[in-house]
Amino acid sequence: MKYLLYIFMFFLTSCANKVYVVKDEFYGNTYYQTDYITIQDWDTTVNLRLVGKGNNIVIEAQYISSTAFSVTENNKIILKFDDNSLLTLDYIDSVKKLNKEEMYKTIKGLFTEDYYFDTYSVNAKQKVNNIGILTDIRLENSETFKNMKFPKNKATELYNLFNEMKSYN
């Protein structure tokens, strides 16, 4: 029975998102990075991850959708936290491409016969000093906006990863 408990604990820890050490041999720097934490709905995937060290942590976001929207530098990804604070991420770039793999991860991808989807992607980031528990994500552009709820378990995971990374100096 004791062995089953150890195996179960190992399985649980191996499934959780972790903070990885990244060694940049070119510059000789070391920093930390998480895997992407992903949420999906009918036609949208949002990936969030943390990159940095100590007091220099950046949250990066990828917003990928099969719903066409005009992509400009005015697109915004906005994060809302449990204390009603908002964090607007800085636009990096955007891409329109055929992407079968990303959209088959969404619910829409399971129920459609299209072999390829046009996907529209916005990438953004912002330095963060402190975060709360993430509750919502919004993509805004000149024409419209889309809101997505962020699941509590994934928000808690992101919050814990942020605090772990902040403790590294």
For residue 156, being part of any structural domain is answered with yes
Confidence band of 9 (pLDDT split at 50, 70, 90):
very low
Q: Please report where in the chains the tokens 């990075």 appear, as a residue.
A: 33
Q: What is the mean pLDDT of residues 127-155?
A: 91
Whether 90 maps to a domain, the answer reads yes
pLDDT at position 10 over 50: no
In a domain, 9, yes or no: no
Please tell me the predicted confidence (pLDDT) of residue 42: 77
Per-residue confidence (pLDDT) for residue 115, from 0 to 100: 46
> Would residue 8 count as lying in a domain?
no
Residue 46 lies in a domain: yes
- pLDDT, residue 66, reads 74
Q: What is the pTM of this model?
A: 0.76
CATH number of the domain residue 137 falls in: 2.60.40
**Whether pLDDT at 119 is above 60:** yes
Q: Is 54 part of a structural domain of the chain?
A: yes
Contacts for 42-46: CB closer than 8 Å, 24+ residues apart: 42/106, 42/107, 42/108, 43/67, 43/103, 43/106, 43/107, 43/108, 44/106, 44/146, 44/148, 45/102, 45/103, 45/105, 45/106, 46/137, 46/148
Q: For residue 7, is pLDDT > 60?
A: no
Identify whether 7 is part of a domain. Answer: no
Structure confidence by residue, pLDDT tens digits, 14-59:
456 789 999 989 999 889 999 999 998 877 889 999 999 878 999 9
Angstrom distance (rounded) from CA 166 to CA 58: 11
Contact yes or no for 147/134 (Cβ under 8 A): no
- The rounded radius of gyration (Å) of the Cα atoms in the chain is 18
Q: Is residue 125 part of a domain?
A: yes
Q: Which residue range is the domain that position 154 belongs to?
A: 19-166
* Domains held by the chain: number: 1
Q: What is the pLDDT of residues 51-106, one digit of tens each?
A: 998 789 999 998 887 776 655 677 789 999 999 999 999 888 876 655 555 555 55
